[in-house]
């Protein structure tokens, strides 16, 4: 029998990491090692090197990140250490020990004023510290380990951790009315769909369906379709039977420390064409996640 291919997951207590755990039974050909800050701090170069040298993963899924977008404006050193330098440590270890790094990045790197979907290779223009540190991370990864795969994703939510869906579910039940911005346009992403995409790509690589050189590169990944945060909130309330009134407001009426791109739709053709995989529509994915949240609560 063939030995199982090994996947090292970092930041495994986060949204994407937790969804990877949920899916592991569907991918029996892989041996998973889930780590978070306590087991493997990606900002510690030596620890990363030692861990990868000992475990010798075929794949490293980097789900570790500094994701507090507004806090990052003040916490520059920490965001940089995790999102940029830490990503670079993993890339170097991947290169040195023959692993393929799957790294996750963000739509927030794109803020160049384009008003049609961004394609991979479009000039980025990150507007805040979080976005800058993520872009530097992408570059560090691609430089140190050109065989890596970078998934740029957007508006991630899941049944785990803190996210817009869970916050809206709570606030919508507590308050009669919520004011939500309608002039930021993008695509929500159920972390489970992203986790599944990563595993499906690893499966194709592990089984030789796709050549690693062809697979390497940057890919956009979110659920299908388009929404504003206002539409997203309306859909959550509709599906949950929450009667809270949603008032559409402009971003200028809800100032935040970090700038967010008003339009960050990403074209996903490259992902779909390279791997021949389909992506669920965002409302279907949301309904799926809400079902899982309710299941976890019962």
Ligand X SMILES: NC(=O)c1ccc[n+]([C@@H]2O[C@H](COP(=O)([O-])OP(=O)(O)OC[C@H]3O[C@@H](n4cnc5c(N)ncnc54)[C@H](OP(=O)(O)O)[C@@H]3O)[C@@H](O)[C@H]2O)c1
**Which residue ranges make up the site for ligand X (CB under 6 A)?**
10-11, 13-16, 36-37, 41-43, 63-65, 67, 82, 86, 104, 106, 134, 153-156, 161, 191
Smallest distance from ligand X to CB 205, Å? 20
Smallest distance from ligand X to CB 245, Å? 25
Question: Rounded distance, CA 166 to CA 98, Å?
Answer: 39
The residue (of 41 and 211) whose beta carbon lies closer to ligand X is 41
Angle between helices 15-23 and 191-206 (to 10 degrees): 60
The residue (of 161 and 217) whose beta carbon lies closer to ligand X is 161
Smallest distance from ligand X to CB 207, Å? 26
Place of tokens 């919508």: 172
The residue (of 42 and 285) whose beta carbon lies closer to ligand X is 42
The one catalytic residue among 66, 130, 219, 230: 130
C-alpha closest to that of 24 among 37, 6, 36:
6
Smallest distance from ligand X to CB 220, Å? 11
Question: Rounded distance, CA 293 to CA 27, Å?
Answer: 23
The residue (of 64 and 205) whose beta carbon lies closer to ligand X is 64
Angle between helices 87-97 and 129-144 (to 10 degrees): 10
3-state secondary structure 121-132: CCCCCCCCHHHH
Question: Rounded distance, CA 282 to CA 287, Å?
Answer: 9
Chain residue whose CB lies nearest ligand X: 14
Smallest distance from ligand X to CB 60, Å? 12
Residue 130 annotated in active site = yes
**39 CB neighbour count, 10 Å cutoff:** 13
The residue (of 42 and 178) whose beta carbon lies closer to ligand X is 42
**74 CB neighbour count, 10 Å cutoff:** 11
User: For residue 58, what is the DSSP state?
Assistant: S
Catalytic annotation, residues: 130
């Amino acid at each position: 029998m063939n030995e199982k291919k090994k996947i090292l997951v970092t930041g495994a207590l986060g949204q994407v990491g937790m969804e990877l755990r949920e899916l592991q039974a569907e991918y029996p050909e892989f041996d998973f090692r889930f780590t978070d800050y306590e087991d493997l701090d990606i900002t510690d170069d030596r620890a990363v090197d030692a861990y990868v040298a000992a475990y010798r993963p075929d794949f490293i899924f980097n789900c570790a990140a500094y994701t507090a977008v507004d806090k990052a404006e003040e916490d520059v050193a920490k965001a940089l250490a995790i999102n940029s330098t830490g990503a670079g440590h993993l890339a170097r270890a991947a290169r040195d020990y023959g692993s393929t790094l799957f790294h996750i990045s963000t739509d927030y790197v794109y803020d160049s004023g384009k008003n049609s979907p961004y394609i991979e290779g479009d000039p980025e223009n990150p507007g805040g510290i979080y976005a800058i540190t993520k872009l530097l991370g992408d570059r560090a990864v691609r430089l140190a380990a050109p065989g890596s795969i970078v998934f740029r994703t957007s508006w991630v939510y899941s049944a785990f951790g803190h996210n817009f869906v869970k916050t809206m579910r709570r606030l919508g039940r507590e308050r009669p009315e919520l004011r939500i911005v309608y002039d930021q346009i993008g695509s929500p992403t159920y972390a489970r769909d992203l986790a599944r995409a990563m595993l499906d790509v690893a499966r194709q690589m592990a089984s030789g369906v796709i050549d690693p050189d062809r697979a390497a590169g940057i890919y956009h990944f979110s659920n299908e379709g388009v929404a504003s945060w206002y539409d997203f909130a309306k859909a959550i309330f509709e599906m949950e039977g929450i009667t809270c009134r949603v008032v559409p407001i402009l971003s200028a009426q809800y100032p935040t420390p970090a700038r967010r791109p008003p339009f960050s739709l990403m074209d996903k053709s490259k992902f779909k064409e390279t791997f021949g995989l389909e992506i669920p529509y965002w409302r279907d994915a949301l309904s799926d996640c809400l079902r899982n949240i309710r299941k976890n609560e019962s």
